[in-house]
Amino acid sequence: LVIVAGAELFTGNNLIIMAYMNKKITFGKLARNWAIVFVGNFAGSLAIVYLVHLSGHWGMHSYMVGGRALLIALGKIQIPFLQAIARGILCNMLVCLAVWLCFSCRNVADKVLAIIFPIAAFVALGFEHCVANMFFIPAGLVLKNITEATAAASTAMGKSVSVADLTWGAFFIRNSLPVTIGNVIGGAVIIALVYWFLYLRTGAIARARKLISKVPSRVQPDESVSNAVRIMKERNQSCVLVGTDEEAIGIVSEADIASKVLAANLDPDSLSVQEIMTTPVISVEVNTPIYRIYKTMVDNGVKHLIVTEKNLQIGYISLNDILRKQ
């Protein structure tokens, strides 16, 4: 629901640390997002507890539903501190991997199939999720004051159940604190930082070099489009620069020829390249990560960028190169 409906979840947002590591956001913005979403998740969980209480759901089957919910809450506050951290780590590793899997999904059905298995795994294995516990333990705090619920819990256990240890203090100190620590370690450190190290720290730069094509050929502004097409075909290039070796004033790509000449039913022999060229020529440094190159293309509405190293043109990257080779 969070992924498909576009909501915010604290544990999934642990992946935002990757943006901080790439200097896309400040630490203050990262902390602000986590704090706001954490508080928002807690407020939402309490609201759901209240609505479920009003619905009478816990009273179903002679309060056996409420009794089971009470036992779940009691079990969660009895988990040893270090064990709760470990369960939190394992839980959010699976949650963040579920979110990561969604990055490769094309539609809602793909997302559902990708998410359901890691999420079902952490639930079935009994791992701890700080946001889920914001519902379960406050629910227990409500139910411990309902005699029928405590009686149902005692019946289920076959012995008298004590609810004296189930307090708000126990919730925050014995469960929420260690589980949240574990969730952050599992999601932000083990998943997000490891993936950042592998794919964004140096990987994106390395891939950028591999995507570079040799510097495109140059044509004079008054040369015909048909001549530019001939040069592109002979040299197996998807674009040509317009201008001199010292300065390029524009670029003509296959897309320009298709949209501005062929689609308009114009004669490429009588049309000069300066009439259809894209300006200005935008360049990026060779060490620019792929995602920034793509963003530059999108922001400027271009499909080719010149790549420079120490102010020297060493090649170019096209949008098709990025999409085809990633």
Same domain for 110 and 183, yes or no, is yes
Domain boundary pick from 185, 201, 217: 201
Task: Give the C-alpha separation, 33 to 35, whole Å.
Answer: 6
Higher per-residue confidence, 66 vs 317: 66
Least confident of 67-81, 126-140, 249-263: 249-263
Same domain for 219 and 177, yes or no, is no
Q: Is the dihedral of CA 20, 24, 28, 31 positive or negative?
A: negative
Same domain for 189 and 285, yes or no, is no
**Most confident among 92-106, 181-195, 255-269, 294-308 (mean pLDDT):** 181-195
Least confident of 50-54, 64-68, 73-77, 319-323: 319-323
DSSP string, 53-109: HHHTGGGHHHHHHHHHHHHHHHHHHTS-HHHHHHHHHHHHHHHHHHHHHHTT--SHH
Could you tell me which residues come within 8 angstroms of residue 246 by beta carbon, excluding any fewer than 6 positions away? Answer: none
Task: Give the C-alpha separation, 97 to 111, whole Å.
Answer: 12
- Residue 260: CATH number of its domain: 3.10.580.10
Same domain for 189 and 215, yes or no, is no
CB 111 within 8 A of CB 3: yes
The number of CA neighbours under 13 Å toward the Cβ of 260 is 17
pLDDT recorded at residue 209: 66
Same domain for 175 and 248, yes or no, is no
pLDDT recorded at residue 136: 97
pLDDT at 122 over 90: yes
Q: Which amino acid is at 278?
A: T
Average pLDDT over residues 133-155: 96
Same domain for 166 and 240, yes or no, is no
Same domain for 164 and 109, yes or no, is yes
Q: Which amino acid is at 16?
A: I
Q: What is the 3-state secondary structure (H, E, C) of 9-49?
A: CCCHHHHHHHHHHCCCCCHHHHHHHHHHHHHHHHHHHHHHH
Domain that holds residue 237: 209-325
Look up tokens 């507890």; give the residue. Answer: 49
pLDDT digits (tens, 9 = 90+) for 305-314: 888 887 777 7
- Residue 115: CATH number of its domain: 1.20.1080.10
Domain boundary pick from 143, 177, 201: 201
pLDDT recorded at residue 119: 95
Higher per-residue confidence, 313 vs 205: 313
Q: Which of 297, 227, 225 is nearest to 257 (CA)?
A: 225
**How much is the pTM?**
0.65
Same domain for 282 and 318, yes or no, is yes
Domain boundary pick from 201, 219, 237: 201
Same domain for 111 and 233, yes or no, is no
pLDDT digits (tens, 9 = 90+) for 214-260: 767 889 999 999 999 999 888 888 888 888 766 778 888 888 888 88
pLDDT recorded at residue 185: 98
pLDDT at 179 over 60: yes
Output the average pLDDT for the chain.
89
pLDDT digits (tens, 9 = 90+) for 1-35: 888 888 999 999 999 999 999 888 999 999 999 99
CB 208 within 8 A of CB 112: no
Same domain for 80 and 148, yes or no, is yes
Total domain count, the chain: 2
Same domain for 220 and 197, yes or no, is no
Average pLDDT over residues 185-190: 97
The number of CA neighbours under 13 Å toward the Cβ of 109 is 0
Same domain for 218 and 191, yes or no, is no
CB 77 within 8 A of CB 171: yes
